[in-house]
Structures are given as C-alpha cells and as structure tokens.
Amino acid sequence: MYNSKGQGVKLYSPNHLPLEGAMVIFSTIDNQKAVFHYSDNLGEVESPKIGFPLVRKIVSTGFEYHIDTLTAPKAELQVIYLAPLQKNLDEVTVTGSLSQQYQSNSVYSIQVINREEIDRKAANNLKELLSSELNVKIANDALLGSSLSIQGNGGENIKFLIDGVPVVGRQNGNIDLNSLNLSNVDRVEIVKGPMSVLYGTDALAGVINLISKSNTKQNLSLGVNSYYETNGQYNADAFLGWGFRKSSLMISGGRNYFDGWNEDETTRNQLWKPKEQFFGNIKFNRIINNWKWNIQSDFNKDKITDKGIPIVTPYSAKAFDYYFTTLRSNSQFSINKSFSESTAIQMTGAYSFYQHIRNSYVKNMVDLTEHLINGHFDNDTTTFNAFFARINYTNDKIFDKISLLSGVDYNFESAKGSRIDNNNHDVIDYAMFASIEYKPISILSIRPALRAIYNTNYDAPLIPSVNVLYRPFKFYEFRLSCSKGFRAPSLKEQFLDFEDSNHNVHGNPNLKAENSMHYLASFSYKKVWNKVVFMAEPSVFYSQIENRISLVEADATTKLYQYTNIENFNSKGTELMLKCNLSSFHLAAGTSYTGVHESYGSTTKQTDIAWFPEYNASVDYTFNRFKTTFFAQWKGIGKKPVYRINIDESVSRFENDSYQLLDVNVRQQFYKNHCSVTLGIKNILNVKQVNAYESSGVHSDGSNESSIGTGTTCFVKIGITL
C-alpha cells in the first residue's frame, strides 16, 4: 500500500485508538498542487504521489491541527498521535459552516457540549443535558414532554437538527426533549440567536444540532450500557460496529422505561406518566475516490400511559385509560467531496416520518380487562411526512481574502388526521442562500449573508444577516451579529386540535408569519498560564418579533386556548460565562439577566418588562492515577414575572417561584477504560413542583403549578466497551 516514493501515516488519539475520517492534505510548498485523503478505520492514510518537499496538514474533529513539512520520501509507516482540544477550551464545529472549523474561528457564538461532558453528566436525553445550561429554560408537560426556551424565546422558534437534518414532529409547537436520545450522539452544538439565513424557518431563537458518533475505529467493537434510577427508570442500550478499510458500519439500539411517579403513591393517576421508549440506528460510511458517503436511518417509538382515577360504584369499578404512541423515523444520506484545500461540496437528502396515535380504553378494575372506546376524539392518528434536500458549496479562496458558502434547500411537510380538521395539509419551502466571508486583514472577518425563500403558504421576505469577528490580540475576540428572522406558522399551529383531560388547544388557520430582528454582541477573553486556561465571555442580546405566535385563552369557562399573533414581542439581556481548566480540574460558572415584553395591541400590553435572573456552575476533578472523576452541577432560577394576555385583551400577571437544582456523581473507569461505573444523586434539593405558569403546558384544570422533578433520586450507570 505504501510505496517508496511517498510516506504513509497512521493516526492515533492519545488513548491509542485509531482515528477514522481524519482529513490529511498533502500539498506542494508553493501550494500549486494538493492531494486529499481520509484515514480509514485503522487510522491509516495512503501515501501521496507528488514530489518533495511537501506540506502535510491533518484535521480531525476534537483534535488540534497537525502541520509539518516532509523533505524526503520514507518507506515506513509513520505514527502520529493528535493532541486533544480540551486544554484550550476550543472545539471543532460544523454548525453554520460546511467544513470543520474551530469555535474560535467561527463568526457565530457556538457552544459545544462534547461526548466527555455528556458522560460526566450521565445524561440520557437532551432534556437532562440542557437542564443546567445558562439561559436555557426547561418546561415540563405530563403528556407533551419537555420543551425549552433560549434567551426568553420559545421552543417553537428553535431549530432542532440531527446531523444537519431538521427534526420533524412538534407537540404544542415544541419538540419533546425526552424523545431525543443521546446514546448515539458525539456532541451537541448550540447557536443562540436567529439562524434563519442558513437553516430557514423555526430558527428565530437558535439552532441545536445533534452530531452523531463517528463509526467504529476498530475492526470490530461492541458496547453495552445500562442505567437505573430510583424514581423508576430502567434504560439499556448496545452498539455493534465493524470497520473494513474505507468502509464502516455501526448498529445501535436500546430501550428506556419509566415507571411513572406521583408524590401520593396511593393514587392510580400519576403526575409523571409512565413511558416506554424503543430506539435504533444503523449507519454506513464509505470513502470512494475521496467522496465520503454516509447512509443512516434511525427509529423511535414512545408510548405514554395516562391511567385514570377509578370510578367505584356498588356494582362496578372502572377507569378510563389513555395510551399515546409516537412513532418517529428519519432516513438520510449525504455525500461530501473536497476538490482542493479550499473547495468542497456536500449533498444531503432525508425523509422523516412522525405519527402520533391516541387510544382510549375503559378498564375493568376487577378483572383488569379493557375495551376500546369508540369516538371521534377518543381514538385518532395524526401523521406528518417530510422530505428534505440540501446542496452546499464552499470555496475558501473564491477571491483574495474572500470565501463563499452557498446552497439551496428544499423542505416539504404534510399532515393528515382527524385532528387536522379532518383534512390533509402540506407546505413546501424552497430557498437559496449565500454567505460571503471577507477578511480585509487577518484579525477581522466580516460575513454578510442572504436567503431568498419561496413558501407555498406564506409570502417570505429576503432574510439578511451580518456577522463580524474581530481578534485584535491573540486572546481577545469580539463578535457582533445583526440578523433578520422569518418563521411561517407550522401546520400544527394552523390546523391541529388537541383535546384531552388536561388540554384544550385549537389551531388557527388565519395566523400570520413571524418576522424578527436579533442583535448580539459578545467578547471573549482567554488567558493561558502554564497549565491553567481561563476564559471569560460576557455578551448582550436583543431580539424583537412581530406577529409572534402564542397561545391565548379564548374561553375561560372551557379553558379553551387558541394560537394567535402577538403584535410585538421582545427579549433582551446579558450573559457572563467563566471557565477555568487546570489539568484534571475544570470549573465553569455563569449568570444571566433576561427581560421579556409583549403587547397584543396598542392598548393591551405588559405593564413592565419581566426581568428574571439565572445562575449556574459546574465542577469536576479527575484523579488520573485511579481514573476516578467527581462531578457536580448547580443551577438557580430566580423569580420571574409572567404576563398572560387573554382573548378579551385583559392581562393577567403571575410570578413564577424561584428554585435551584443540584446534582452530583462519581465516575470510575476500569480495565483500560473499557468499563465505567457512574453513581450519582440528582435533585439533591428535592424540588418537585413550584408555583409557576408555563404557556407551553396549557392545562384545562386551571393549575398554576409547574412540575420540575420527581424529588431526590439516586442512579447508577454502567458502560462496557469491547
């Protein structure tokens, strides 16, 4: 494989694992000729067939660039260990760009939660992972699951992606965070603020991109994970991987089960509903003539059981039980090709399926038999189908000091079911976008961008944005962002009627599209003293949304809520993040102060801005000799005024209580890191419910209590990799 005219290379991580998929660029000294290769599952790269001397550049996600000069050919295979990025508090990102780049080089302010941090937190799903993040608010609903807001802006305005493909299936306008499992996720990238230019509708408040794990780096690998928590959670998953030269295959799957929880253990109807989830994923990669092919498919099935309160008479005992089954699948393929060090193309296609099934039963509490109830809203199925296609092209040297990212995308979504006003509806979104990055000097990057949209249901304006990155000194970074956003109402917001014992929500086909402006300014300071790395990042933000879609109480008697447009909504605030790394010690802390204000019309609006604070902190320390890691995280949420605008244009004011969350755990690794055991305590402060009003969980019972957790619990997580 390696001839005498070149030099082959074998790439390893610091823990002696081969690095698959690393890009190795061999170029002449004058940069007139270059050859690109990707390392195979053994970490090996073929030797180049160009003359010496030449420059070799190695790029791999999560590792520092490696650049050296080869002056003469060598016949032997050279071994190189790449240095991890963790010590510099810098990660490789892909969100907002086509090729991999460092966080510090991106004009966007991107937060990265890598696999190491996911494991430290022992997070099973996206809700658990984000619950302690700064200015990210989690709301819980017994049947609709968990949703979130970023910088005061709701989850219906947050774009969720898996490997760049939009996630389909929103309940009450939100993606259920509990359904987004992390067993096959390598890292999560978060961009706060509108990304409508690059990612289209639903990206007003930001983008959360789940990047799946790379395929196996060895010929054959096997892993098993199990999790138990004292509130009744039993999880298990496994994966099997096989690598063979330029191809690799990974198959994974598992089951998560939650037994349900209620503080009063004598009642049959539980506040936190029992839930069973099955999930699976298959992923195949192959490199053909330096074209990277990726084909993958994943499947989720969630079943929630809502047990009714028994009705007992002298002659019978029965209860009304409801079963909510959600099926979600996504199949996608992508093709990547680097034609030179500066030009590349990526093509992606995906089909997504989402189905929500409701069945209602009468259960005999004596012999435990049950029979289906026949009724229009007692049993129904709602189905969503989506097709997504995207082509990206990048050229880092289209002109001197100018680079280009451009592309086209296509989104088709259809909905049908008895709750979709007994009809079928669909929407198609075509778009072209371009982003030019201009570097007049090495320390300044200016990136204007523009998106042109054609939506079959709504007139869409041109969407512009401008981002600036200025680095006057080595450890100083300034970022400025000005971006317009656009969001067309979803099919659910227009046509879905959701009625059960806890909800009475109706769609509105007359909704207007949302338009927004967002401004962000941030400063990053990084200082390195010997082995200590310190970073401080203060930022300020302001966003304004016209015709924001919100739930408004339409009928106080029936507790009917309907989607309607709020004339003007704005959020503003400031954040401060501090991080410190010292070898095996990591400390992070932050605070934010956010205010939101909305008006329904010229005479109906909040009396003042609803300001609320948040705080968080995390610390971990690893005893390298014993491979033991201690981890703790804390989050405090201050009192928050909440204003609810009713359909009669009156304004109701609430004040959400403050509360704090604290988790700790210890992780022990054995047998050369092939086995790990994590023991921990969650919700040490025993927070269960607080006095709060959450618009994302509209209950017909008029309750103003928000469920936060199931009290203090203990857990154990065991992972084995062979």
Q: Any idea of the CA torsion for 563, 565, 568, 570, to the nearest 10 degrees?
A: 30
Of residues 314, 283, 315, the one with CA closest to residue 298: 283
More confident: 61 or 286: 286
Question: Tell me: the pLDDT tens digits for 6-40?
Answer: 467 888 876 666 777 787 888 777 666 777 777 87
Report the distance separating Cα 201 and Cα 453, nearest Å: 10
The residue among 84 and 443 whose pLDDT is bigger is 443
User: What mean pLDDT do residues 327-343 have?
Assistant: 87
* pLDDT for position 6: 46
- Please give the Cα distance from 84 to 106 (Å, whole number): 19
What was the pLDDT predicted at 58?
84
Mean pLDDT over 347-368 rounds to: 92
Tens-digit pLDDT profile for residues 110-130? 888 888 889 888 899 999 999
Q: Could you give the residue ranges of the DSSP H alpha helices within 259-371? A: none
Q: Specify the higher pLDDT residue, 98 or 606.
A: 606
Give the strand pairing for 158-162 and 206-212: parallel
Select the more confidently predicted residue: 56 or 466.
466
Radius of gyration of the chain (CA): 26
CA distances from 514 to 204, 374, 458, 544, 669 (A): 9, 39, 10, 10, 50
Residue 599 pLDDT greater than 70, yes or no: yes
3-state secondary structure of 105: helix
Mean pLDDT of 625-651: 84
Q: With bands split at pLDDT 50, 70 and 90, how would you rate the model's confidence at 53?
A: confident
For domain 209-721, give the CATH superfamily: TonB-dependent receptor, beta-barrel domain (2.40.170.20)
DSSP class of 88: G
Q: Is the peptide bond before 73 cis (omega within 30 degrees of 0)?
A: no
Structure-token pair, residue 12: 């390893």
| pLDDT higher than threshold 60 for residue 702 | no
Q: Out of 46-55, 258-267, 606-615, which region has the weakest mean confidence (pLDDT)? A: 46-55
Give the model's pLDDT for residue 54.
79
Q: Is it the case that residue 86 has pLDDT exceeding 70? A: no
Percent of the chain with pLDDT strictly greater than 70: 86
- For all residues of the chain together, what is the average pLDDT? 84
* d(C-alpha 309, C-alpha 625), whole Å: 55
d(CA 422, CA 401): 56
pLDDT of 172: 61
Distance from the Cα of residue 454 to its chain's centroid: 26
Q: What is the mean pLDDT of residues 604-626?
A: 88
What average pLDDT score do residues 559-579 get? 87
40 contacts 1 by C-beta, under 8 angstroms? no
Residues contacting 694, CB < 8 A, separation 6+ = 139, 140, 141, 706
Confidence label for 173 from pLDDT (cuts 50, 70 and 90): low
9-84: CATH topology = Immunoglobulin-like (2.60.40)
Query: How far does CA 83 lie from the centroid of its chain?
Result: 27
128-150 pLDDT per residue, tens: 999 889 888 888 776 667 778 88
pLDDT exceeds cutoff 80 at 699: no
- 82 vs 72: CA distance, rounded Å: 22
* Token pair belonging to 368: 């435990």
Sketch the domain layout of the chain as residue ranges.
9-84, 209-721
- pLDDT tens track for 307-323: 999 999 888 899 999 99
Q: Which residues contact residue 703 at a Cβ distance below 8 angstroms, ignoring those fewer than 6 apart?
A: none
Q: Distance (Å, rounded) from C-alpha 171 to C-alpha 701?
A: 19
Higher pLDDT pick, 704 / 514: 514
Whole-number pLDDT of residue 263: 87
Q: Determine the Cα–Cα distance for residues 719 and 236; give it in Å rounded to an integer.
A: 10
Helix H or strand E segment including 121: helix 115-121
The reported pLDDT for the residue numbered 621 is: 93
Higher model confidence: residue 594 or residue 63?
594
Buried b (16+ CB within 10 A) or exposed e, 583-606: eeebebbbbbebbbbbbbeeebbb
Higher pLDDT, 482 or 87: 482
- How do 560-582 and 498-499 pair as beta strands? unpaired
Q: Which residue has better confidence, 703 or 377?
A: 377
Distance CA 668, CA 519 (A): 44
**CA atoms of 60 and 82, how far apart (whole Å):** 8
Q: Which residues pair with 154 in a beta bridge?
A: none
Q: What is the pLDDT of residue 2?
A: 37
Among 38-42, 192-196, 433-437, 595-599, where is mean pLDDT lowest? Answer: 38-42
Give the burial string for 158-173 (b: 16+ CB within 10 Å, else e).
bbbbbbbbbbbbbbbb
- What percentage of the chain exceeds 90 in pLDDT? 37
pLDDT-based confidence at residue 256 (cuts at 50, 70, 90):
very high
pLDDT confidence of residue 4: 36
Residue 349 vs residues 25, 57, 165, 391: alpha-carbon distances, Å: 28, 30, 8, 9
**Are the C-beta atoms of residues 524 and 204 closer than 8 Å to each other?**
no
59, two tokens: 């790029």
- Name, in order, each residue with C-beta under 8 angstroms of 672's C-beta and a sequence gap of 6 or more: none
For residue 155, report the phi and psi dihedrals to the nearest 5 degrees: -65, -20
List CB contacts of 400: < 8 A, sequence separation 6 or more: none
* pLDDT number for residue 496: 78
Would you say residue 103 has pLDDT above 70? no
Is 7:185 a contact under the CB 8 Å cutoff? no
- On the question of pLDDT at 99 being above 80, the answer is no
pLDDT at site 114 = 87
- For 290-300, the pLDDT digits (tens) are 788 999 999 99
pLDDT(548) > 90:
no
- For residues 72 and 51, is the Cβ–Cβ distance under 8 A? no
**What does the buried/exposed string (b/e) look like for 312-332 if buried means 16 or more CB atoms within 10 Å of the residue's CB?**
eeeeeebbbbbbbbbbbbbbb
The whole-number average pLDDT for the span 87-106 is 62
Among residues 91, 158, 124, the alpha carbon closest in space to that of 579 is found at 91
H-assigned helices in 187-234: 196-199
589 pLDDT tier (thresholds 50, 70, 90): very high
- The pLDDT value given to residue 153: 83
- In this structure, what token pair is assigned to residue 429? 């979104």
Q: Are 70 and 47 in contact (CB under 8 A)?
A: no
Tell how strand 560-582 and strand 504-506 pair up. parallel
- pLDDT, mean of residues 274-282: 94
Calpha distance 28→51 (Å, rounded): 8
This prediction has a pTM of 0.82
Which has the closest alpha carbon to 130: 89, 85, 190?
Answer: 190
Nearest to 116 by CA among 133, 129, 100: 129
